[in-house]
Structure 1
Amino acid sequence: MTDPDRRGPAPAAEDPWPAPRARGPVEATVTLPGSKSLTNRALVLAAVADGPSVVRRALRSRDTSLMAAALTSLGAVVDTSGDDWRVTPLDAAAPAGDVAVDCGLAGTVMRFVPPVAGLATGAVSFDGDPHMRKRPVGEVLGALRTLGIDVTGDALPFTVRGTGSVAGGTVVVDASQSSQFISALLLAGARYERGVDVRHDGQPVPSLPHIDMTVAMLRQHGVVVDDADANRWSVAPGPVRAVDHLIEPDLSNAAPFLALAAVSGGTVTVRDWPAATTQAGDALRGILAAMGCMVTRTDAGLTVTGPDELQGVDLDLHDVGELAPAVAALCALATTPSHLRGIAHIRGHETDRLAALATELGRLGADVTEHPDGLELRPAPLHGGVWSTYADHRMAHAGVVVGAAVDGVLVEDVATTGKTFPDFAGSWAALLDRDV
């Protein structure tokens, strides 16, 4: 058993899931659910917009359901009964009363909703799963105080007391732990009386593509955003125009499926891969090509064909840290050494992902060294065993990738993948059953 204070929640008590083994090259076409990052940003913007709108092909998962519930509790109406979610924005003149928001393990709920809560009227208490209390949010809460919002607490559980309006202004934050600190302040900033001018002071901000995603979506809503200067993002006050969004497939959730082509020497196509996107998962194209895969994008989607032997890589994943677990699993199966770096910030994700990956890969025989900001992996024969997920969907993805290439891998709490991909295990098993 790993140390839960360092590694995250203890593994689930349920029987571990036997990860299906690929007995030959996998040939498949996959349709992915919608992007969690895009869905939750679209929901927040719809909730502060100047009229009703629709989020089409919204991802239906735990994280997005928690976001819909949170915004509804503040006074918006999010109708999730169909594939297209209809949103009526919150009315600051209608008091929401004292309400409680369940953040679960969703960083977007914990960080994006408090700035919106300042626009509601009433006390809004926030809490979540036990491990969520360890995830950083203090920079956001401190910034909200500076902007004129009454906040009690610096970590979960905390309370925001909204008055229906927020003064806004300039704030300085250290967003080196998470780009979500910046996005959180920008999303509702146009509704503040003076807008918001966010300045970062600290080590480089990780996952910058996620801030680019936020800025792009704000501009789609007619919000004026100035991001011309490095480490500064300014949102002008004004209306947030109601806009319908069509949600792209979640490209980060493509990682295990494309990795399946890589480890089996097969060919997997992910349908509807966008020609241009702000999603971090688009970096998979270059990563898999560097490992020896053949990668092709057409109007039909992205197709990856695996090589005879996977090559190791030396990669700075600072901007795309969410891909690190699946990439680390591939590196453990490569025939040459790998070094993944620039990802110290993923220690503050759903679990300490660097420590968890080093532990679980090492448990199955990998030659892995954990560094403060990454992992070093050298070729070694892997064997079966139990893979703990620490209630982290990306850790589960890494486990099934290893299990596709190694006999006898048992993944604990595979249901944690429901955070962003409902019935992931069923989809994965059905894909491999065709090749067993």
Structure 2
Amino acid sequence: MPVVDIPGSKSITARALFLAAAADGVTTLVRPLRSDDTEGFAEGLTRLGYRVGRTPDSWQVDGRPQGPAVAEADVYCRDGATTARFLPTLAAAGHGTYRFDASEQMRRRPLLPLTRALRDLGVDLRHEDREGHHPLTVHASGVAGGEVTLDAGQSSQYLTALLMLGPLTEKGLRVHVTDLVSVPYVEITTAMMRAFGVEVTREGNDFVVPPGGYRATTYPIEPDASTSSYFFAAAALTGGEVTVPGLGEGALQGDLGFVDVLRRMGAGVEIGADRTTVRGTGTLRGLTVNMRDISDTMPTLAAIAPFADGPVRIEDVANTRVKECDRLEACAENLRAMGVRVETGPDWIEIHPGAAPEGTEIKTYGDHRIVMSFAVTGLRVPGISFDDPGCVRKTFPGFHEEFAALRARL
């Protein structure tokens, strides 16, 4: 039975770095993800004057509830959406002038709902080029708090950033949300804030965060559920079996729900207290599934859909069009290049099994999830290659080696 050691969660590592930086005391993060995104986040904290000590298995962060230790900083956020959205929000609680820029890929991704909400809270924030996009400069003088309205229909990260800011404000925050996608990611945020000493309450569409700050702690990072999806899908596709330790009944990450999709398609799934196992049965059934809350795993499902016994329709995934690339169209384009019939709409994709897919070079658009998803397709389709295989360094630098080892065992 192949057991796969999945690196720490990107989402949890990024949130933990923010919370540790904001907490009173020294926080130890156990088994954080070491990838381009998280290294970029840690580097950004260092540029802002926070001390981040690193050992092979843990990071220690000296918290500063009063905000950045420097009065001026220029921070490059690389490709990281959490870095590019969370760090300006963290800096706003301090006092100084902080400029943030990012890669061309990240510059294209939207930011306006968050920066509009920060402005509504009195933050002096200016976009240098296109409104709602990086680069931007924050002239920080603390945040009083109060009530604010937010549209989080494009990304739950906007809400997460504001919730984590709440305890650093003078009065706390009440965030009224008009639309919200990827709710499980918000639940990760509130659970982690609780571990750092802050209780968020929800009243209908309002999220209420008290002032008072965070307390430092030792925080273990669980394996990345989105990354696990490729290994679970590999088992379902090949008739093999894969177990991921560290992800079980108490997991924070909603993307573990992808195994329920595999179960509906016919795979055997066992979720234990501290591990999850998926067994392929030789059959993949077609289905229609709403993936609004687990949209990062949409490409994983799309990549195995051609091997189902009927059409696979994935709905309510409009937000995948504003990720590292337009993931919905990237999946459709690559599947069509393999000879698969695909239909798309504003927020859905439908994939029709037919003749055996043909090998092709996958257009990755620099998106790590496109590479890792179609690596699963390559288990059944000879001749799959990638125009940028190295972009997996964003979240899993050792992916190709780990996946090759799994392929040999399957």
Per the alignment, residue 64 of structure 1 pairs with 38
Stretch moving more, 337-346 or 406-415: 406-415
Q: Unmatched 5+ residue regions in structure 2?
A: none
Cα deviation, 1:169-219, whole Å, max 9, x if unaligned, reads 111111111111100101121011111111112xx4110000011111112
Shift in Å, 1:167: 1.2
Shift in Å, 1:107: 1.0
Cα deviation, 1:308-353, whole Å, max 9, x if unaligned, reads 2211121000011001000111112212111100100110111011
Per the alignment, residue 7 of structure 1 pairs with none
| Alignment of structure 1 residues 399-418 onto 2, 5 Å | 399-418=374-393
Decide whether the 8 Å contact of 2:239 with 2:279 is kept in 1.
yes
Per the alignment, residue 345 of structure 1 pairs with 319
Shift in Å, 1:137: 0.6
Shift in Å, 1:300: 6.0
Per the alignment, residue 182 of structure 1 pairs with 159
TM-score (norm: length of structure 2): 0.95
Shift in Å, 1:243: 1.7
What letter is aligned with 1:117? Answer: A
Q: Which of 245, 255, 265 is the matching residue for 2:239?
A: 265
Decide whether the 8 Å contact of 2:63 with 2:216 is kept in 1.
no
Cα gap change, 1:382/1:51 in structure 2, threshold over 3 Å: closer, same or farther?
Answer: same
Identity %: 38
| Alignment of structure 1 residues 202-281 onto 2, 5 Å | 204-227=179-202, 229-281=203-255
For residues 320 and 93 of structure 1, the distance between their equivalents in structure 2, rounded to whole angstroms, comes to 33
Decide whether the 8 Å contact of 1:76 with 1:91 is kept in 2.
no
SS at match of 1:96: coil
Per the alignment, residue 268 of structure 2 pairs with 294
SS at match of 1:87: strand
Shift in Å, 1:91: 6.1
Q: Which of 127, 130, 133 is the matching residue for 1:155?
A: 133
For residues 351 and 103 of structure 2, the distance between their equivalents in structure 1, rounded to whole angstroms, comes to 32
Cα gap change, 1:241/1:91 in structure 2, threshold over 3 Å: closer, same or farther?
Answer: closer
Shift in Å, 1:120: 2.7
Is the counterpart of residue 368 in structure 1 residue 368 in structure 2?
no
Cα deviation, 1:143-164, whole Å, max 9, x if unaligned, reads 111212110113111111123x
SS at match of 2:231: helix
For residues 70 and 255 of structure 1, the distance between their equivalents in structure 2, rounded to whole angstroms, comes to 29
Per the alignment, residue 3 of structure 1 pairs with none
For residues 48 and 123 of structure 2, the distance between their equivalents in structure 1, rounded to whole angstroms, comes to 15
Is the counterpart of residue 130 in structure 1 residue 104 in structure 2?
yes
Decide whether the 8 Å contact of 2:93 with 2:143 is kept in 1.
yes
| Alignment of structure 1 residues 378-417 onto 2, 5 Å | 378-380=352-354, 381-417=356-392
What letter is aligned with 1:327? Answer: L
For residues 86 and 46 of structure 2, the distance between their equivalents in structure 1, rounded to whole angstroms, comes to 14
Shift in Å, 1:431: 2.2
How many residues are paired up?
Answer: 405
The runs of 4+ residues in structure 1 deviating greater than 4 Å are none
For residues 376 and 208 of structure 1, the distance between their equivalents in structure 2, rounded to whole angstroms, comes to 24
For residues 284 and 174 of structure 2, the distance between their equivalents in structure 1, rounded to whole angstroms, comes to 46
Q: Unmatched 5+ residue regions in structure 1?
A: 1-26
Cα gap change, 1:91/1:217 in structure 2, threshold over 3 Å: closer, same or farther?
Answer: closer
SS at match of 1:183: helix
Cα gap change, 1:93/1:335 in structure 2, threshold over 3 Å: closer, same or farther?
Answer: closer
Cα gap change, 1:278/1:301 in structure 2, threshold over 3 Å: closer, same or farther?
Answer: closer
Decide whether the 8 Å contact of 2:343 with 2:351 is kept in 1.
yes
> What is the Cα-based RMSD across aligned positions, in Å?
1.5
For residues 272 and 45 of structure 1, the distance between their equivalents in structure 2, rounded to whole angstroms, comes to 22
Decide whether the 8 Å contact of 1:111 with 1:137 is kept in 2.
yes
| Alignment of structure 1 residues 302-313 onto 2, 5 Å | 302-313=276-287
Cα deviation, 1:274-298, whole Å, max 9, x if unaligned, reads 2212202210221110111011123
SS at match of 2:24: coil
For residues 300 and 52 of structure 1, the distance between their equivalents in structure 2, rounded to whole angstroms, comes to 28
Shift in Å, 1:95: 4.7
What letter is aligned with 2:241? Answer: T
Shift in Å, 1:121: 2.8
For residues 22 and 408 of structure 2, the distance between their equivalents in structure 1, rounded to whole angstroms, comes to 45
What letter is aligned with 1:214? Answer: T
Higher relative contact order (CA 8 A, sep 6+): 1
TM-score (norm: length of structure 1): 0.90
| Alignment of structure 1 residues 166-181 onto 2, 5 Å | 166-181=143-158
Shift in Å, 1:78: 1.2
Is the counterpart of residue 355 in structure 1 residue 329 in structure 2?
yes
Decide whether the 8 Å contact of 2:232 with 2:259 is kept in 1.
no
Cα deviation, 1:382-403, whole Å, max 9, x if unaligned, reads 0101111111111111210111
What letter is aligned with 2:138? Answer: V
What letter is aligned with 1:323? Answer: T
